[in-house]
């Protein structure tokens, strides 16, 4: 069992003991999503893959949060925000804008990229380093700005 998977399981047990219903629900949702990926792909997920799953779950909730806020449904937006906070606890510390910029610049140097046609090669190097620690939309904008 990966370290992150064990940490999620331990957090579930702690939340159950503390009778934190909302927290138990979202942690079970995380475990269900991990299990779904394992069953669908017939693999044992590692920490890197769990980060991808968690990152996707946060992104889904951000989108829902925005839609609920725009629609004037603050009650539902609050639920989405609380879920994002619980999921974020299992993600590594977010990178600062300067750290992301340094990673992007290093990847551009490494690939020798000079134009937008080479963005894919740069992103292939950057993505594993920032997965779960930075918004890929922001990273993509930085790459475009430096290559464009």
Does residue 147 carry a pLDDT above 90?
no
What's this model's pTM, rounded to 2 decimal places? 0.79
pLDDT band at 11 (very low <50, low <70, confident <90, very high): very high
pLDDT of residue 137: 85
| Residue 138 structure tokens | 């922001």
Sign for the CA dihedral angle at 25, 27, 28, 33 comes to positive
| Residue 23 structure tokens | 């927290």
Q: What is the DSSP letter of 116?
A: G
pLDDT digits (tens, 9 = 90+) for 88-132: 999 988 888 889 889 999 999 998 888 889 889 999 999 888 877
Does residue 76 carry a pLDDT above 80?
yes
pLDDT of residue 113: 84
Which domains are seen in the chain, by residue range? 3-88 (1.10.1510.10), 97-147 (1.10.10.410)
Under a CB-based contact definition with an 8 Å cutoff, are residues 47 and 90 in contact?
Answer: no
| Residue 124 structure tokens | 């292939």
């Amino acid at each position: 069992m990966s370290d992150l998977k064990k940490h999620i399981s331990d957090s579930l047990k702690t939340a159950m003991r503390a009778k934190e219903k909302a927290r138990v629900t979202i942690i079970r949702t995380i475990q269900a999503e991990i299990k779904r990926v394992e069953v669908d792909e017939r693999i044992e997920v590692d920490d890197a893959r769990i980060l991808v799953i968690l990152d996707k779950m946060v992104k889904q909730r951000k989108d829902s949060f925005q839609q609920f806020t725009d629609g004037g449904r603050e009650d539902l937006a609050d639920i989405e925000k609380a879920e994002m906070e619980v999921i974020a606890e299992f993600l590594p510390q977010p990178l600062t804008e300067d750290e992301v910029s340094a990673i992007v610049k290093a990847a551009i140097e490494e690939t020798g990229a000079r134009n937008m046609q080479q963005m894919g090669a740069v992103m292939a190097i950057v993505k594993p380093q920032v997965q779960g620690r930075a918004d890929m939309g922001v990273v993509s904008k930085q790459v475009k700005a430096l290559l464009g």
